[in-house]
Structure 1
Amino acid sequence: MIDKPIYVTSPLLPSIDDFTSSLKEIWNSKILTNNGCFHKKLEKELAAYLKVPYISLFTNGTLPLITALQAMRITGEVITTPFSFVATTHSLWWNGIKPVFVDIDPETCNLDPNKIEAAITPKTTAIMPVHVYGKPCDTKRIQEIADKYGLKVIYDAAHAFGVEVNGESILKAGDMSTLSFHATKVFNTLEGGALIVRDEQTKNRIDYLKNFGFASETEVVAPGINSKMDEVRAAFGLLNLKIVDNAIAARQQIAIKYREKLRGVPGLSFFEDMPNVRHNYSYFPIFIDEEVYGMTRDELYFKMKEQNIWGRRYFYPLISTFSTYRGLESAKPENLPIATQMANKVICLPIHHALTENDIERILKLIA
């Protein structure tokens, strides 16, 4: 008999009774979208929770990236990472921007600041780093480089909900940051996302762009799109915001148990918590040295699947290997040795608030 499946994540769900109560309010109001009361309340409460000045909600996590590039009028070339989900680079391509891939730091899997300057050309207009696994990028170094060359910085912070460095939100770094509220994320609104900006004027421009460009009932100020979050998802998010801290605390305990049991296993490595960082434990990646561990990453991955344990190889294959991008000079594997190496070693273990002690034991028994 096959044991029940253990998935890499599980969606955070509010009480069905509480959600039904919110739905009744929406039904009675007959306002389903277009900046209703739940939408306004979620923006306000998220801004307070995340310690950011302004936030604009979106219907998914990709459209904030696309819109940020539009709002800042980014063109030409943008330096970014190959070690991410494809939405990062796709957002550039959709805006007619050439992605320039730069290798990553093996200690974090984030964009390596030491490799950025060599990739800058007269066509470079911005840097788009990713806080991979929710681990903060070296934002100070990246900003110094951006300031030196007059570049904008847009952070893909899809993994970094609630992450702080020295008590300050990582979302304040750069010119803008984007979030994903997909069902697989630490905090979700079923599908959803957000864009973090610094000032009210930019917030207003973003709000115009995500609503067809309307500034008023009769005035369209830009060729916008429709990427608003509806009231149902906003209501769902408000309820999840009340329980997300408990979910993060549960994830932290799982990370502690993994580290206790996996520390010292030959050929297996993982990341430690970074000092002075409030982590959200969105992922728990392990890296397999096949010569020492005794099997390849893929052999372990498929062994796990045979036992109904569904890890994920985030992020394999690299974005730079996909057909759209592999012809770029910066996409050549010899230009991305660390990213290639890490992509070939990684498995993200299941980690979420609903994981049981028995689940954890099953996973560790198979791996350790």
Structure 2
Amino acid sequence: MAVTTGEAGLPAALGGTAAFPEGLPLTRVEVPDREELTRRFDAVLDSGQLTNGTTVRELEEAAAEFLDVPHVVAVANCTSGLMLALQAFGVAGTRVVMPSFTFSATAHAAHWAGGTPVFAEIERDTLTLDPADAEAALAPGVGALMATHVYGTPCRVEELQKIADEAGVPLLYDAAHGLGSRRAGRPIGGFGSAEVFSLSPTKVVVAAEGGLVATHDEALAEAVRLGRGYGNPGDYDCVFPGLNARMSELHAALALVSLRSLPERIAHRTALVGAFASRVQGLPGLRLPALAPEDTSTWKDLTLILDAEAFGCGAVALADALKAEGIDSRRYFHPAVHRQKAYADLPEKRELPVTDEMAELVLTVPLWSHMDEATILKVADAAIRIQAHADQLPK
């Protein structure tokens, strides 16, 4: 790795030329085959049925085949899928153990289902739920265990399943980032009691908005299917208080077209991350989340983990320096959920020093499915220039 010096090598924050004067956004949606999409939209509009119809059924069947699971239920979004699964588990009035290093929707879903979030630690290398600390949190009164495949990195599913089985509680995965990830060759989607995916615009498969609940449990699938339509079995005599969490036919059409090319997109994202990692190899104080050699990640996010002392500056200063380069970034996930105002008054507070530490160290930089290698290498080179002059940056 060569670090340039002199005026040409200065980061933009110190007077150098910005890498992306036109700006480089964190995400940019890849629109699938527009010709096929238009045909599908026309068919939906001609059918006169715009919600929860044959296109939704087709998406559910295609996703079930891709994930190698018997049941997939399409919902309006990942959060509603998590809510309905937790409601079906009967978590109301119970504690729900989950990581704090996750998107807030993980905890929100438990709250809305009547459960109380109890936060557990993550691992420093993968940033996914630490099975040992999750087990320590599974005291009496726990109604479910939740885990998140952070950035698409598969959790240690075997250990988590063993812990959940021994505790006699369902295991639910927030797999918002994980559609296309694999654990030792097996698709994420078939683990635990259920896994719930997101199809929002920042994901690798998009439906504009939408979610998928994947499970081997037929009764759970039927409960979610009923719950997404208010709990109404068809005669307006609702069996339980459900939601309006139906997916529209137009969203399903977009998701179907997007799903078809998912393996190619994941292969491309993996190659881009590999190119970035090779470029910054040896850069002091910077690493990526660890991924087991036998696993596949969607790399939904390209998140850097910074050792501020070794790198020369922390995540905030790096974000500011990247902004000067025209490079967008986000601190996924800071603050961790247990530090957010919404959960300041939880009755049970556990010390989470690893989560607190890692939340301070992470910074997510741009990665898209149709980004080219030259662009990702320019992002890497910007980080290299910034590190070389980190001691001169505003503190």
When normalised by structure 2's length, the TM-score is 0.88
How far 1:242 sits from its partner (Å)? 1.8
- For 1:5-46, what per-residue CA distance to the aligned partner results, in whole angstroms no more than 9, with x for missing partners? 21222223113222222121112111111x311111111111
User: Equivalent residues in 2 for 1:322-361 (5 A)?
Assistant: 322-328=340-346, 330-331=348-349, 335-361=351-377
Which amino acid is the alignment partner of residue 44 of structure 1? E
How far 1:329 sits from its partner (Å)? 5.9
How far 1:330 sits from its partner (Å)? 5.0
How far 1:202 sits from its partner (Å)? 2.5
How far 1:284 sits from its partner (Å)? 1.8
Q: Which residue among 54, 64, 80 is the counterpart of 1:63?
A: 80
- For 1:104-149, what per-residue CA distance to the aligned partner results, in whole angstroms no more than 9, with x for missing partners? 1111111111112322222112111111111111111112111222
How far 1:349 sits from its partner (Å)? 2.0
The 3 A distance-change label for structure 1 pair 183 and 331 is farther
- Is the contact made by 1:52 and 1:169 (CA closer than 8 Å) also made in structure 2? no
Partner of 2:300: helix, strand, or coil?
coil
Alignment match, 2:59:
42
Which amino acid is the alignment partner of residue 163 of structure 1? S
Of stretches 267-276 and 190-199 in structure 1, the one that deviates more from structure 2 is 267-276
Distance between the aligned counterparts of 2:42 and 2:167, measured in 1? Answer: 53
Which amino acid is the alignment partner of residue 52 of structure 1? V
Alignment match, 2:334:
316
Gaps of 5+ in 1: none
Alignment match, 2:301:
283
How far 1:234 sits from its partner (Å)? 0.6
**Is it true that 1:263 corresponds to 2:281 in the alignment?**
yes
Distance between the aligned counterparts of 2:166 and 2:372, measured in 1? Answer: 49
Partner of 1:343: helix, strand, or coil?
helix
How far 1:279 sits from its partner (Å)? 2.1
Partner of 2:151: helix, strand, or coil?
helix
Distance between the aligned counterparts of 2:184 and 2:122, measured in 1? Answer: 24
- Is the contact made by 2:315 and 2:360 (CA closer than 8 Å) also made in structure 1? yes
Which amino acid is the alignment partner of residue 320 of structure 1? H
Distance between the aligned counterparts of 2:365 and 2:133, measured in 1? Answer: 29
The 3 A distance-change label for structure 1 pair 356 and 168 is closer
Alignment match, 1:306:
324
Which amino acid is the alignment partner of residue 355 of structure 1? M
Which amino acid is the alignment partner of residue 198 of structure 1? H
Which amino acid is the alignment partner of residue 222 of structure 2? N
The 3 A distance-change label for structure 1 pair 357 and 118 is closer
Distance between the aligned counterparts of 1:330 and 1:132, measured in 2? Answer: 24
**Is it true that 1:31 corresponds to 2:40 in the alignment?**
no
Alignment match, 1:8:
26
Of stretches 71-80 and 358-367 in structure 1, the one that deviates more from structure 2 is 358-367
How far 1:248 sits from its partner (Å)? 1.4
Distance between the aligned counterparts of 2:59 and 2:330, measured in 1? Answer: 31
- Is the contact made by 1:84 and 1:318 (CA closer than 8 Å) also made in structure 2? yes
Which amino acid is the alignment partner of residue 184 of structure 1? T
Distance between the aligned counterparts of 1:117 and 1:71, measured in 2? Answer: 23
Distance between the aligned counterparts of 1:120 and 1:244, measured in 2? Answer: 36
Alignment match, 1:188:
206
- For 1:142-171, what per-residue CA distance to the aligned partner results, in whole angstroms no more than 9, with x for missing partners? 121112221111111111112122332222
Partner of 1:6: helix, strand, or coil?
coil
When normalised by structure 1's length, the TM-score is 0.95
**Is it true that 1:233 corresponds to 2:233 in the alignment?**
no
Gaps of 5+ in 2: 1-17, 385-395
Which amino acid is the alignment partner of residue 372 of structure 2? T
The 3 A distance-change label for structure 1 pair 93 and 316 is same
User: Equivalent residues in 2 for 1:147-186 (5 A)?
Assistant: 147-186=165-204
Question: Over aligned residues, Cα RMSD in angstroms?
Answer: 1.7
**Is it true that 1:52 corresponds to 2:69 in the alignment?**
yes
- Is the contact made by 1:131 and 1:160 (CA closer than 8 Å) also made in structure 2? yes
The 3 A distance-change label for structure 1 pair 185 and 115 is same
Partner of 2:189: helix, strand, or coil?
helix
How far 1:218 sits from its partner (Å)? 5.3
- For 1:296-351, what per-residue CA distance to the aligned partner results, in whole angstroms no more than 9, with x for missing partners? 2110011111221112211111111111212336546xx11111111101111211
Structure possessing the higher radius of gyration over alpha carbons: 2
Of stretches 171-180 and 219-228 in structure 1, the one that deviates more from structure 2 is 219-228
Question: What percentage of aligned pairs have identical amino acids?
Answer: 31
- Is the contact made by 2:89 and 2:144 (CA closer than 8 Å) also made in structure 1? no
- Is the contact made by 1:247 and 1:352 (CA closer than 8 Å) also made in structure 2? no
Which amino acid is the alignment partner of residue 382 of structure 2? L
Partner of 1:308: helix, strand, or coil?
coil
Which amino acid is the alignment partner of residue 38 of structure 2? T
Distance between the aligned counterparts of 2:156 and 2:348, measured in 1? Answer: 22
Which amino acid is the alignment partner of residue 201 of structure 2? A
